[in-house]
Amino acid sequence: MRDFVAGAACLGRGWRLLGQRPRLLLLGMVPALVVWVLLAAAFVALVLHLGDVAAWLTPFADDWVDGARQAVRFFLGLALVVGSVLLWSAVFTGLTLTIGDPFYERIWRAVEDMLGPVKLGDGLGFWHSALDGLRLAAVGVASSLLVLLSGLVPVLGPVLGIVLGLLLSGRLLARELVSRPLEARGMDAAAQKALLAPHRRRVLGLGIATQACFFVPFGGVLVMPVAVAGATVLARDVLPDERGPAYRPHATSTDPAPRG
């Protein structure tokens, strides 16, 4: 539990760092705002036609008694809303990371300098980042379909869908964000997996905290640059030779004093 909280706390540490560089914070909000407006328009259109969509998806219920028909379509409509929110957050994240990669690379490199200069390579590159964004969106689609199916289970279905969606998309989001500074250090996917394996709860904490912000109006716009900064902080925490003062709670009296 302590590692999970420490991962979520990286989001706050990222916020404090970008608070010192407000121009970077505003820069990172630009691609997120563009994508947010486009997806918000699609979500509003769905909500306005939710009854028609639910009826179209359940033609088999047309001849049912009113109570049963309305109940099925109500829970299906609820599942559609919850599923679309999860889909919205994943597509939002994938598109924002793809479109805004040059913006976010500038942010995480600036955060690296603020934490202490290190030797870095070229990073992921546009096409690699685009593929990562599409993979993230694909997971969001799968999570949303899971919510739609679970929505047929009264009461508990949408709740279970939200929890599973947060776990799946949150973990993947954090891994994608952390991969940027790690790959700039020359670490391939296998090396990153080995490095992060002991810190799974920490990575999950950052991802879920970020995803939870998407449920707040305009939260996704504000949190994306902060999450990039927080992921950079997390990467520095888990790299054995670059651990800063924030890692001290995990040290023992026999551990060497951390750098920074």
Higher pLDDT pick, 250 / 137: 137
**Could you report the per-residue pLDDT of 107-164, keeping only the tens digit for each?**
999 999 898 877 766 555 556 655 665 666 666 666 666 656 665 566 666 677 677 7
| Cα–Cα distance list, 153 to 36, 212, 217, 232 (Å) | 30, 23, 28, 40
Question: In this predicted model, which residue has the larger pLDDT, 132 or 169?
Answer: 169
CB 50 within 8 A of CB 80: yes
Note the pLDDT of residue 80: 78
Band of the pLDDT at 255, cuts 50, 70, 90?
very low
At residue 255, what is the residue type? D
Q: How many CA atoms lie within 13 A of 192 on its CB side?
A: 19
Q: Name the pLDDT band for 100 (thresholds 50, 70, 90).
A: confident
Whether residue 246 is predicted with pLDDT greater than 60 in this model: the reply is: no
Domain residue spans in the chain? 2-249
Question: With bands split at pLDDT 50, 70 and 90, how would you rate the model's confidence at 68?
Answer: confident
Query: pLDDT tens for residues 189-216?
Result: 788 889 999 999 999 999 999 988 887 8
Contact 45, 124 (CB under 8 A): no
Of the pLDDT bands very low, low, confident and very high (cuts 50, 70, 90), residue 70 is confident
d(CA 110, CA 114): 6
What global pTM score does this model have?
A: 0.72
Q: What is the mean pLDDT of residues 102-106?
A: 89
